[in-house]
């Protein structure tokens, strides 16, 4: 289990809430309603990024989080679009803290692996910011396991570590099971996976032709295009119907059920969408149901490719 805590020492919640839609599909009022719903469900970990909605996501989150600040774990990310030079990372993070209205955030992620700047230099910048008290936990997102371990080894030289990773992980995107999640268990690294609902695919709404991110955003349409993913969404929906539970509840609870105890980052574009995924926070999934859900999509082969011996 994760050792991450809020500034007042509260344990980090089992689920997080992502604010990528704040200031985009969700206006200030809708964002406020979603924040309150997440808090009401016991969530104290909120995720944003320098990149999201031109800064509005960080601004909205900062305003909403202010009254509860010390009880919350606030995460942001830098280094997605403009490179990862020391000056760029510091400039982006300074602006992120300003938007959030926070001298210090809890988790700072490198948003993705950047091969254009030596990893040593990127981490040196992060360590300097951490030692200056600007953030508390080091994270990386969208890194392969070897990249996480390389970062971990570099950081160990100065007495630091990768504290948390943020990979994509859901019922139809299971690559994280091969190396990332076992690595987290072995190295005691926390994990907050994003897209637990496959961008909305696993709500089942596309089965009846509804509109949403997958019909509006080409990147997500391509990411979730394969037929077997839609077949899994159908299987999930059938199972959910039989159990009298929402597909989204099962999908989000399935992510959290992995033995590495990942903390799924729930999200929504409107407050009305939140109830089914928030129900996952208190959903008790037994081994049998976990197995049935896992069988909806192929388990990825092991890193050694020796399938016959697993």
Crossing angle of the two packed helices 28-40 and 56-65, in degrees rounded to 10: 50
Where does residue 15 fall: left (phi above 0), alpha (psi -120 to 50 degrees), or beta otherwise?
A: beta
Our finding on whether 205 is near ligand NAP (CB under 6 A) is: yes
β partners of residue 173: 170
Residues 259-288 contacting ligand NAP, CB under 6 A: 265, 267-269, 273, 276-277
State the number of binding residues for ligand NAP (CB under 6 A): 28
- The 14-33 site mask, x for binding ligand NAP (CB under 6 A), equals ----xxxx---x--------
Smallest distance from ligand NAP to CB 199, Å: 5
Our finding on whether 76 is near ligand NAP (CB under 6 A) is: no
Which DSSP state fits 37? Answer: H
Residue pair 126/162 in contact by the 8 Å Cβ criterion: no
Question: For ligand NAP, which residue of 122, 125, 141, 249 counts as binding (CB under 6 A)?
Answer: 141
* SS3 per residue for 178-246: CCHHHHHHHHCCEECCECCCHHHHHHCHHHHCCCCHHHHCHHHHHHCCCHHHHHHHHHHHHHHHHHCCC
Q: What is the spatial distance between Cα 231 and Cα 237, in angstroms, rounded to a whole number?
A: 10
Our finding on whether 194 is near ligand NAP (CB under 6 A) is: yes
DSSP alpha helix (H) spans, the chain: 28-40, 56-65, 86-100, 119-131, 145-156, 180-187, 213-216, 218-223, 227-243, 247-256, 274-278, 287-294
Smallest distance from ligand NAP to CB 93, Å: 16
Our finding on whether 236 is near ligand NAP (CB under 6 A) is: no
Our finding on whether 55 is near ligand NAP (CB under 6 A) is: no
Q: What is the spatial distance between Cα 152 and Cα 307, in angstroms, rounded to a whole number?
A: 29
Smallest distance from ligand NAP to CB 122, Å: 16
Smallest distance from ligand NAP to CB 210, Å: 7
Of the candidates 191, 179, 184, the one whose C-alpha atom is nearest the C-alpha of residue 302 is: 179
Smallest distance from ligand NAP to CB 86, Å: 22
- H-helix or E-strand containing 77? strand 73-78
Our finding on whether 173 is near ligand NAP (CB under 6 A) is: no
Our finding on whether 247 is near ligand NAP (CB under 6 A) is: no
Smallest distance from ligand NAP to CB 254, Å: 12
Nearer to ligand NAP, 212 or 302 (CB): 212
Integer Rg of the chain from CA: 19
Length of the chain: 310
Our finding on whether 2 is near ligand NAP (CB under 6 A) is: no
Our finding on whether 213 is near ligand NAP (CB under 6 A) is: yes
Q: Is 169 a catalytic residue?
A: no
Question: For ligand NAP, which residue of 142, 175, 292, 294 counts as binding (CB under 6 A)?
Answer: 142
Active site positions, annotated? 52
Residue ranges that bind ligand NAP, judged by CB under 6 A: 18-21, 25, 47, 141-142, 166, 194-200, 203, 205, 212-213, 248, 265, 267-269, 273, 276-277
């Amino acid at each position: 289990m994760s050792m991450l805590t809020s500034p007042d020492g509260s344990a980090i919640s089992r689920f997080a809430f992502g604010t990528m839609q704040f200031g985009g599909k969700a206006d200030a009022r809708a964002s406020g309603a979603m924040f309150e719903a997440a808090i009401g469900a016991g969530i104290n970990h909120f995720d944003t990024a320098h990149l999201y909605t031109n800064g509005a996501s960080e601004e909205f989150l900062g305003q909403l989080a202010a009254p509860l600040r010390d009880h919350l774990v606030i995460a942001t990310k830098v280094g997605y679009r403009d490179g990862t030079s020391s000056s760029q990372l510091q400039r982006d993070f300074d602006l992120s803290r300003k938007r959030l209205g926070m001298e210090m955030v809890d988790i700072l992620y490198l948003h993705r692996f950047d091969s254009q700047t030596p990893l040593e230099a990127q981490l040196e910048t992060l360590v300097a910011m951490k030692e200056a008290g600007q953030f508390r936990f080091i994270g990386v997102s969208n890194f392969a396991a070897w990249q996480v371990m390389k970062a971990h080894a570099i950081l160990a030289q100065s007495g630091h570590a990768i504290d948390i990773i943020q990979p994509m992980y859901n019922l139809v995107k299971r690559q994280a099971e091969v190396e990332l999640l076992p690595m987290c268990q072995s190295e005691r690294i926390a994990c907050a996976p994003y897209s637990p609902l496959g961008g909305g695919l696993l709500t089942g709404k596309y089965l009846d032709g509804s509109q949403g991110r997958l019909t509006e955003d080409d990147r997500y349409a391509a990411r979730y295009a394969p037929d077997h993913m839609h077949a899994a969404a159908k299987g999930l929906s059938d199972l959910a119907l039989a159990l009298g539970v929402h597909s989204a509840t099962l999908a989000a609870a399935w992510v959290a059920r992995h033995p590495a105890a990942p903390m799924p980052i729930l999200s929504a574009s409107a407050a009305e969408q939140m109830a089914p995924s928030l129900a996952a926070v208190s959903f008790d999934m037994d081994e049998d149901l976990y197995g049935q859900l896992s069988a909806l999509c192929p388990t990825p082969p092991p890193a050694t490719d020796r399938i016959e011996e697993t």
